[in-house]
């Protein structure tokens, strides 16, 4: 970084000039400029093309004025390299979901540097193009969320198949989690080597579990992933969607920043998390459909709940919805900056 970044400072819990803000899934379908790029290329081909991935990564930085860029990619890219096949139609579909010990035994821990070189090429392009303007965030899926897709083969309402494996064959489940954890440890470290300045771990489905089961079956793998990162200079953000009732356990996984969905008031979350962990969040994405008066009120409420404590990165509580008006997102970013 050529200069001090509010985003990175906030991740470390240090004072900032104004509250930094970025938007989960900020490079996405709600942006006409993104849809223009996507008109000519499939989602997977866009992920695999470093120049185009870099291009859409930069769009929200230019259009919205957010305080961080996040690499355009998908959490399933390293999973594909493990050998399960991957397509999008439009949601993810794995060609070879895993069910048996033999399935898991054939999964590879890939040489990510070679097989996902397009990701690290995109990172290098982005660092050059950003030239210190804002930091670049890398990411991966949490082991459980990836296991969900690998066992179910696609999205699911209740992911009962993966939970069935977890409860009825815990050793088998653990062997799968182990391979995913090691793959993603290497994958995130390679992103860090290539130049990302923070990393976020997305546990989209971790909140499907009872706290006791999260603690037994899931959290040790997330903690192992985090502990295995070259993170001296790179803050780690852990986002567990639906984690509001088990923030004590999420915190113990060891991230520097805990991402929050909108189901828990920010002040209560901070009370549980204590002063040594920063927080990121937590506006309901659908508030952005409301008029600007509603958005302003919600921004003021969340900033009020934080009450000036250091270590707050403003964000949505989940990915931005495709139909969101771009004007409203720009309004949000401006108001967060103006009010802090």
Nearer to a second copy, 154 or 164 (CB): 164
33 binds a second copy (CB under 8 A): no
The reply to whether 97 sits near a second copy by the rule CB under 8 A is no
Q: How far apart are CA 193 and CA 123, in angstroms?
A: 10
Q: How far is the CB of 169 from a second copy (least distance, A)?
A: 9
Q: Which residues 6+ apart lie within 8 Å of 327 measured at CB?
A: none
DSSP letter at 110? Answer: -
Asked about 30 being catalytic, the answer comes back as: no
Q: Which stretch binds a second copy (CB under 8 A): 7-15, 95-103, 230-238, 317-325?
A: 317-325
Name the pairing type of β-strands 257-259 and 278-283.
parallel
Report which of 9, 17, 43 is spatially closest to residue 29, judged by C-alpha positions: 43
Q: Indicate whether 100 belongs to the interface with a second copy (CB under 8 A).
A: no
Are 199 and 229 within 8 A, CB to CB? yes
Residue 96 binds a second copy, judged by CB under 8 A: no
For the purposes of burial, counting CB atoms within 10 Å of the CB of 118, is it exposed (0-12), middle (13-18) or buried (19 or more)? Answer: middle
What 8-state DSSP symbol labels residue 12?
T
Catalytic residue status for 149? yes
User: Token digits for 261?
Assistant: 């969905």
> How many residues make up the chain in this entry?
340
Nearest CA to 251 among 281, 277, 218? 277
Binding a second copy by CB under 8 A: which of 48, 127, 163, 337?
163
Contact residue for a second copy among 192, 209, 240, 255 (CB under 8 A): 209
- 212 binds a second copy, rule: CB under 8 A: yes
Residue among 87 and 213 whose Cβ is closer to a second copy: 213
Instruction: State the Cα–Cα distance between residues 57 and 315, nearest whole angstrom.
Output: 17
For residues 186 and 242, give the distance between their C-alpha atoms in angstroms, rounded to a whole number.
27
Q: Shortest gap between Cβ of 148 and a second copy (angstroms)? A: 12
CA distance 75 to 78: 7
With CB under 8 A as the contact rule, which of the stretches 48-56, 125-133, 205-213, 332-340 interacts with a second copy?
205-213
242 contacts a second copy (rule: CB under 8 A)? yes
CB of 279 to a second copy, least distance (A): 14
Question: Does 213 engage in binding with a second copy (CB under 8 A)?
Answer: yes
Q: Judge whether 225 and 182 are in contact, CB under 8 Å.
A: no
Q: At its nearest, how many Å lie between a second copy and the CB of residue 63?
A: 22
Site residues (CB under 8 A) for a second copy, limited to 258-297: 262-265, 268, 282, 284-287, 289-291, 294
Enumerate the active-site residues: 25, 29, 38, 74, 149
Q: Which residues bind a second copy (CB under 8 A)?
A: 158, 160, 163-164, 167-168, 207, 209-213, 242, 244-246, 262-265, 268, 282, 284-287, 289-291, 294, 298, 301, 317, 321, 323
């Amino acid at each position: 970084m050529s200069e001090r970044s509010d985003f990175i400072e906030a991740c470390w819990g240090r004072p900032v000039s104004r509250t930094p803000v970025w938007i989960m899934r900020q490079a996405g379908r709600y942006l006409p400029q993104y849809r223009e790029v996507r008109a000519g290329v499939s989602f997977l081909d866009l992920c695999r093309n470093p120049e185009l991935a870099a291009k859409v990564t930069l769009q929200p930085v230019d259009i919205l004025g957010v305080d961080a860029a996040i690499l355009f990619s998908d959490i399933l890219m390293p999973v594909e390299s493990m050998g399960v096949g991957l397509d999008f139609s439009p949601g993810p579909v794995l060609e070879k979901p895993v069910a048996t010990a033999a399935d898991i035994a054939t999964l590879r821990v890939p040489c990510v540097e070679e097989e996902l070189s397009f990701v690290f090429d995109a990172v290098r392009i982005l660092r050059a193009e950003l030239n210190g303007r804002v930091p670049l965030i890398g990411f991966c899926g949490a082991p459980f969320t990836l296991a969900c897709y690998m066992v179910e083969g696609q999205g699911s309402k209740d992911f009962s198949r993966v939970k069935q494996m977890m409860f009825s064959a815990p050793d088998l489940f653990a062997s799968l989690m182990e391979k995913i954890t090691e793959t993603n440890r290497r994958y995130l470290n390679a992103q860090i080597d290539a130049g990302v300045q923070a990393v976020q771990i997305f546990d989209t489905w971790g909140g499907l579990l009872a706290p006791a089961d999260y603690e037994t079956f899931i959290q040790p793998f997330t903690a192992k992933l985090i502990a295995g990162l070259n993170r001296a200079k790179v803050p780690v953000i852990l986002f567990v969607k639906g984690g509001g009732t088990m923030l004590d356990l999420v915190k113990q996984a060891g991230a520097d920043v805990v991402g929050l969905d909108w189901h828990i008031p920010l002040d209560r979350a901070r009370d549980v998390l204590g002063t040594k962990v920063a927080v990121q969040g937590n506006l309901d994405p659908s508030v952005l459909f409301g008029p600007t008066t509603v958005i302003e009120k919600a921004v003021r409420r969340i900033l009020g709940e934080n009450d000036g404590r250091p270590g707050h990165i403003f964000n949505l509580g989940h990915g931005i919805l495709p139909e969101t008006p771009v004007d409203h997102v720009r309004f949000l970013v401006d108001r967060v900056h103006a009010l802090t």
